[in-house]
Structure 1
């Protein structure tokens, strides 16, 4: 099986972001550009530097409340998300909670026809299937591209998250679990229909994340 990968790039300067992006795309199908690791005022410069690679980029500006690093205000974050949208990336990752709370942002993304990846994370646990099912159905109203990630404390947690693929027809669902018990779900999700799996260039950015080289060795 040919694994499709998305390398998470989390650099603190625009130039380092560009270098890492070029390096990753030599071996990976996509990259996830974690713009929240940059200072807010550096994002415009970074966008210009990676402009030619944005058609293969999932752009993320994760707030601290959602496990990210963005240090500015929510108003600033929304403004930068709109700026990123103007560059027409492959996907713009926007949190489900952000879309629920900000109708102006949601409408803007609809009007501009920005392809969004609506995401939801639980960094502490894995809720029951009934809860996950409800979240999935609500997220589907915003986009066919959906990302649901939980923290697996037991092996059964991963199976619970992966069972979402049974109801994921007509969507591009990326669902897996973080942590040691969730590690294999990052590979199994590909067999169940995930368009790609997130990997790192070296040190894991998220708990349980495989490196690009590890995934390539598994896929042969």
Structure 2
């Protein structure tokens, strides 16, 4: 079953993996420099890891930075993420502030996709509807940095995210055995076959899970994250290595 989203001139598809490079920088200048480096490298998608921003709560500076990012990204897809400390990020943030910033960003029109940790908002479906009405696609996410849940539990997590109406469902888990990696891929494959109106992103983190980052097209996973400079999660490959491997696999 083939599913696609067309964003700018790029295609997100269950039939191939698009590489996303996280921008992990704290100052405006360093953010813009990393974004420019990604554009120069022809990265199809960047993730603005706003939990690293030292200006996150300054709306004027935040909006101006997003505007400047939009000006230089052109056809590059832009994913905006505030990764909370509970799910492996750099910031402890109250739900109200988390919602306020994400809602504000969605109204600017400067980002294409917004990451929403479904465990961090009480009414995820209603909130996602607001974000959609503001013109943003939504990637619902859940991260477990400790273990890989059982198969049915992972399928249930995908189901919870799907019920919110999100466009992309991301589940990132930590494997402790090779069986964990296989089980995560199995869950992704089963969900991809069952769900017709959403794309998925499946990741097994750490060194043990590296194979999941390049095998996404086998199970319908549409995005894989790679590092151009600094890695933002354990087990990330470099952009050049991942790009080479994926091109070979998708010949």
**Normalising by the residue count of structure 2, what TM-score does the alignment of the two structures yield?**
0.79
Q: Name the CA distance, whole Å, in 1 between partners of 2:145 and 2:92.
A: 19
**Structural mapping, 1:194-205, within 5 Å:** 194-205=221-232
Secondary structure, aligned partner of 1:205: coil
Instruction: Decide which of 86, 108, 111 is 1:65's aligned counterpart.
Output: 86
- Counterpart check, 1:28 vs 2:43: yes
The Cα shift of 1:140 comes to 0.5
Bigger RCO of structures 1 and 2 (CA < 8 A, at least 6 apart): 2
Native 8 Å contact 1:31 1:58 kept in 2: yes
In structure 2, how many angstroms separate the alpha carbons of the residues matched to 1:5 and 1:193? 14
Q: Residue 148 of structure 2 is aligned with which of 120, 126, 137?
A: 126
Q: Provide the C-alpha distance between the structure 1 equivalents of 2:135 and 2:78, rounded to a whole number of angstroms.
A: 16
Calculate the aligned-residue CA RMSD, in Å: 2.2
In structure 1, C-alpha distance between the alignment counterparts of 2:140 and 2:34, rounded to whole Å: 25
Deviation per CA, 1:149-180: give whole Å up to 9, x if none: 00011111111111122222422100011011
Does the CA contact (< 8 Å) of 2:16 and 2:217 recur in 1?
no
Q: How do 1:186-201 and structure 2 match up within 5 A?
A: 186-201=213-228
Deviates more, 1:69-78 or 1:35-44: 69-78
Contact 2:202 2:216 in 1 (8 A): yes
Question: Structure 1 residues 3 and 114, CA, compared in 2 at 3 Å: closer, same or farther?
Answer: closer
Structure 1 residues 75 and 3: alpha-carbon distance in aligned structure 2, compared to 1, 3 A threshold: closer
- What CA distance in whole angstroms lies between the structure 2 residues aligned with 1:117 and 1:137? 14
Unmatched 5+ stretches in structure 2: 1-14
Residue segments in structure 1 that go unaligned for 5+ positions in a row: none
CA distance in 1, matches of 2:203, 2:117: 16
Q: Is the 8 A contact 2:174 2:205 kept in 1?
A: yes
Aligned to 1:147: 170
- Call closer, same or farther: CA 1:57–1:11 in 2, change over 3 Å: same
Are residues 1:166 and 2:190 paired?
yes
Structure-2 change in CA distance of 1:44 and 1:179 (3 Å): same
